[in-house]
A and B are shown apart, each in its own frame.
Chain A
Amino acid sequence: MQRRLFLKSAIAGSAVATAVGAGLLTPSMVFANTADFKAKSDAATASIAAAGKGSFKFKAPKIAENGAVVPVTVDASKMEGVTNISISVTKNGTPLAASFNISGAQGYVSTRIKMGTTSPVVALVTAGGATTQVSQEVKVTIGGCGG
């Protein structure tokens, strides 16, 4: 589907193709959540398997109030030389939710993620070249009331 899109725009000489030509939009920007991002997601999944247990704080609810908005916080501010904080939802289609490259900020990130089903959520912190992880299962349920 992505290839067809690319060809379509190339043939049509559309704004996308023009922008790509002018260097304003690189292919990785246009298709980022496919090839490039998926590769990053696969790399993160591999990292998780290899990483030892982290000593940083990872906060996520045990039972999510709403699977569409699950607040998660990674606090590695006490660690030296944090260069990356990544968050991965194991059972999601593309597990990697985000990868934050830290280059001046503290090793702290708070955000809200979408979860389709009960799943472990993994926080990965890379500091001083070493990657460690903390995992927590978050239950996602179907509610009863609302209207």
Chain B
Amino acid sequence: MSVSVRVPTILRTYTGGESEVSADGGTLGELLDSLDTSYPGIKGRIVDEQGQLRRFVNVYVGNDDVRFLDGLKTPLADEAQVSVIPAVAGG
């Protein structure tokens, strides 16, 4: 299941400056594991020690915030687009 992941500026130190990378996974959680294999350490910046999404990170599958879906268990279709975006903006 190949998924495209948009990487925020803050995490591009892990991806060699790439703003968009590919990874595999049937769920968001599996995708992050796959991403961490390719770019060690990146998962820990998105997910906390308890395995929850960090407080100040928003993750979207397509246009939907995964907090409105099934969190890390959110299923991913082939060629899905996942975006990781800092949460602290707006207002």
Whether chain B is bound by chain A comes out as no
**Chain A interface residues (CB < 8 Å from chain B):** none
